Structures are given as C-alpha cells and as structure tokens.
C-alpha cells in the first residue's frame, strides 16, 4: 500500500487515526502494531510471517544478550543475531544473484530459485540489527514488552523505506510520548509536503525518465535530460517518503530524525552523503565503519575500510553489479577527496557545486541502469560517443512540456523557498498574511495531489526495489 494512494489516504489512515486516539494510552501501541501488520500484509500477506519471525528472534536475542552482558556468551549471541538476520536478508534479496554469479564463473546452469523480495526487508533488518547490537554495547536496555519492540520494528510510517529509526532514539517514546493538536498539525503539514514532493514533482519527472527508456528518437541532450530528471525524481521520491514518514510519526507522537538535508547544495561528495539518506549513512558509520577501525588505523587499512563500507552500501541497495559499481564509484571519489581535493572544493563553492551536479548525474545513471549494457549505452549517449544527434524533435517536445516542473523542482531541491518564507516571517504583517494563507495552501496542495491520483496517473515508488 503506497502512502500516495487513494486506499491509504481515504480508508486506511483515517480509520487508524480514529482508532488510535479513541483507545486508552495502554492500547495505542497495539493499534499501531495491528495496523502496521495489516498495512504490510496488504501487498505481501505471506511475508507477514517472515516479519513476525524476525521480530521474535530480535526480541529473544535482545533479552538473552542483556541477561549475559559482559560475558563471552553475549558476544556469541550478538554474532548469532547478526548472522541470523543477514542470512534472511541474503536469501530473499541475493540468492539468485549469487547463483547467477556462480553460473558465470563456473559455466554451470544452476536454476534460479526466483525468490521474490519482501518489501522493506532491508530497512527493518537494519533496525533489528541496530537494536541487538546496541543492547550488546550497553547503549540501551532490552525491551521486555514484545508489543513495544514489534511496534518499533514494523511501525507502518517508516516500515517500507525508512528512515532507519534506531531503537535507542525512540525507546522512551514507545511508552511515554506526547500527543497534542500542535504536534499533529505539524505532522499533517509535513505529510502534505512529502505527498506533494512525491506526486506532483517525482511522478512528473519520472514520466520523462520512463519515456526516454522506450524512445526511438534518442539524442545526446535527451540523455542528459533523462539523467537530470532521474536525479531529481529519486530525490523527491525518497525525501518525499521520508517527509511523509516523519509527518505520520508526529501525528502518532513520535519524533523521527531527519533523513535529507538539501543534498544538492553540497560542494563535495563527502558533504553530499552527510545530507542524503542520513539514517543509512549513520548506520554504516556506527555499525560497520567504526567497528572496522574507521580512520584510527593505518592509511592503507583506512582506505580499505572506506571501500568495504561503500561496497556494502552499494550491495545493500540491490542484487546487481551496477549497485556494487555505484558504491565503489563513490568510495573511490571519497578517497580522492579525503587525500587531495576536499579542501579545494570546500573553499571554491561554485566549482564544488558544478562538480557535485555532474558527479550526481553520472552516479544516478549508474544507480538506475537495468544492466551493464544499458549503462554503457546511456553513458555513451551522454558523452557523445554514440552515433546520435545532439538534439531531436522529441527532446525539444519534452523540454517544452516539462520545463516548468523542472525549474520548480530545481528550486525545491534547495532551501530557496524555506529561506524566502523565513525572511518574510521576520515582518509582522507578512507573517500574519502567511499564517492566514498557510491552511489554504496546504489544502490546495492536497486537492491537487488527489486530483492527480484520481486521474490514475503515473505513480511508482522507486525505493520499493530496495
């Protein structure tokens, strides 16, 4: 079930909100848990059992680790927890990739198992891992109430695509959180902003990308346009989802951490990844990079650590060689920055911004490639290495048709609108006018979104792949 769907917006969410606020405080987590399992089972009922098994395993591992804390047995248990969860993730997400790779190397023809990928498994697996590891490290207490732990793991606002919420960050909110009209109002506004980004920006940009994939009128400029629109599409698609998740969390009394912070205004790749999908970057930093030794080791080992982390980051995104190449591509760039170019780019913001835009475009071409062959074709088209014209009639048509949405998207990917509003609110009269207009703006945006959805228009969600 998509957040940007009529069933969710007009049936599921209103029913859950009403039930949530009419039941006593002691039953609110039960409502969230049952509704989350229903939400997940709506699209994949058979994988609800898998999720319940993962929850039970996380619960008993957490209790056992705490019971044996500061002993060798606790270390064995946390290792078993990591192995158990990674085996489940590995089987459902990577087994056919491993079979294919083995067939290529050995010349055999072992048949694929054709295991379908459970939606959101990469996200909730990482949440379970962070919980058991933090219990082992003594950063948090094991949760005695299985309902509370299950609510944390499968809470529907962040179940499908994050942000990756750590148990330690919301431990106390699971049993003692604040509900208010003010907080719920903030949550509704944040949800509408995310919904608008997803439906009115990401979906429209995605139309350009999908049409490029099937066109016979390819040009060099069209290839650049597709790469540019995809970079903006995936940003608004994923950051929009994160906004909706954070907004829904506020409605139910939770405060989830931010996941995006205008990454396209970065001057370096290092800064870009501090602003993009921040919860994932922080997860790999705290649970892989630092345990490997981080930068507190020899230079050679430090460089190896970076490559390991970025190999894992790429592979986490999907069972495909393009994701591995994408991860190693960014690992290589980060090493070059740390050794040579970071200070120069940071001190020359204009050059840094141009550099980041170009790197991002090529990076997302890598990310979006269906296979290595299609990757090579689009890169050749963009670099003028193919026998295609610079511009075509179809390119001109889509540039004219989407120029307004592209310009709005560029502006919305920066803090421009936020800064303008903040500046205007410094004036008392302007602030009063904005406060009066604000509810009408949000209502208008919601109506526009619903009109688009009712029309049955293009409405994918990119991160369901991961």
In whole angstroms, what is the distance from residue 346 CA to residue 385 CA? 32
In whole angstroms, what is the distance from residue 155 CA to residue 29 CA? 9
Compute how many other C-beta atoms are within 10 angstroms of the C-beta atom of residue 447: 10
Residue 368 CB partners (closer than 8 Å, separation 6+)? 209, 230, 234
Report the run of H or E that residue 312 belongs to, with start and end.
helix 299-317
In whole angstroms, what is the distance from residue 193 CA to residue 247 CA? 9
In whole angstroms, what is the distance from residue 162 CA to residue 283 CA? 12
Residues marked active site are found at: 317
In whole angstroms, what is the distance from residue 135 CA to residue 97 CA? 33
CA distances from 328 to 211, 235, 287, 306, 312 (A): 29, 21, 19, 9, 9
Residue located via tokens 């350009």 = 208
Residue 34 CB partners (closer than 8 Å, separation 6+)? none
In whole angstroms, what is the distance from residue 253 CA to residue 383 CA? 50
């Amino acid at each position: 079930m998509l957040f940007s769907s009529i069933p969710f917006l007009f049936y599921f969410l209103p029913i859950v909100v009403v039930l949530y606020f009419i039941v006593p405080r002691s039953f609110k987590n039960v409502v969230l848990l049952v509704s989350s399992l229903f939400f997940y089972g709506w699209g994949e009922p058979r994988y609800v059992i898998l999720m319940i098994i993962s929850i039970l395993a996380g619960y008993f591992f957490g209790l056992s680790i705490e019971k044996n804390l500061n002993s060798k047995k606790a270390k064995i248990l946390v290792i078993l927890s990591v192995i158990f969860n990674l085996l489940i993730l590995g089987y459902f997400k990577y087994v056919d990739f491993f079979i294919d790779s083995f067939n290529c190397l050995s010349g055999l023809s072992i048949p694929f198992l054709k295991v379908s990928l459970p939606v959101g498994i990469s996200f909730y697996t990482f949440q379970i891992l962070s919980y058991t590891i933090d219990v082992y490290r003594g950063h948090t207490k094991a949760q005695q109430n299985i309902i509370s732990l299950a609510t944390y793991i499968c809470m529907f606002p962040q179940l499908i695509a994050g942000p990756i919420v750590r148990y330690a960050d919301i431990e106390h909110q699971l049993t003692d959180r604040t509900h208010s009209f003010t907080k719920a109002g903030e949550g509704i506004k944040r949800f509408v902003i995310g919904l608008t980004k997803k439906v009115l920006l990401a979906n429209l940009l995605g139309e350009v990308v999908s049409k490029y994939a099937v066109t016979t009128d390819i040009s060099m400029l069209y290839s650049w346009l597709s790469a540019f629109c995809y970079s903006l599409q995936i940003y608004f698609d994923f950051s929009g989802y994160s906004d909706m998740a954070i907004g829904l969390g506020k409605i139910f009394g939770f405060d989830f951490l931010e996941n995006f912070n205008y990454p396209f205004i970065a001057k370096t790749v290092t800064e870009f990844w501090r602003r993009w999908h921040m919860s994932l970057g922080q997860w790999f930093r705290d649970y892989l990079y630092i345990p490997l030794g981080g930068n507190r080791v020899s230079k050679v080992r430090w460089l190896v650590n970076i490559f390991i982390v970025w190999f894992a980051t790429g592979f986490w995104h999907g069972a495909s060689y393009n994701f591995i190449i994408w991860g190693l591509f960014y690992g290589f760039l980060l090493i070059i920055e740390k050794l040579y170019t970071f200070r120069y780019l940071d001190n020359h913001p204009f050059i840094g911004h141009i550099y980041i835009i170009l790197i991002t475009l090529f990076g997302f071409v890598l990310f979006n490639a269906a296979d290595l062959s299609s990757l090579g074709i689009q890169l050749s088209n963009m670099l003028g290495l193919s026998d295609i014209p610079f511009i075509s009639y179809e390119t001109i048509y889509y540039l004219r048709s989407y120029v307004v949405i592209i310009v709005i998207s560029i502006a919305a990917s920066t803090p421009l609108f936020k800064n303008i509003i903040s500046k205007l609110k410094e004036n008392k009269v302007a602030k009063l006018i904005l406060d009066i207009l604000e509810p009408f703006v949000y209502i208008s945006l919601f109506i526009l979104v619903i009109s688009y959805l009712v029309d049955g228009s293009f409405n994918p969600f990119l991160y369901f792949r991961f």
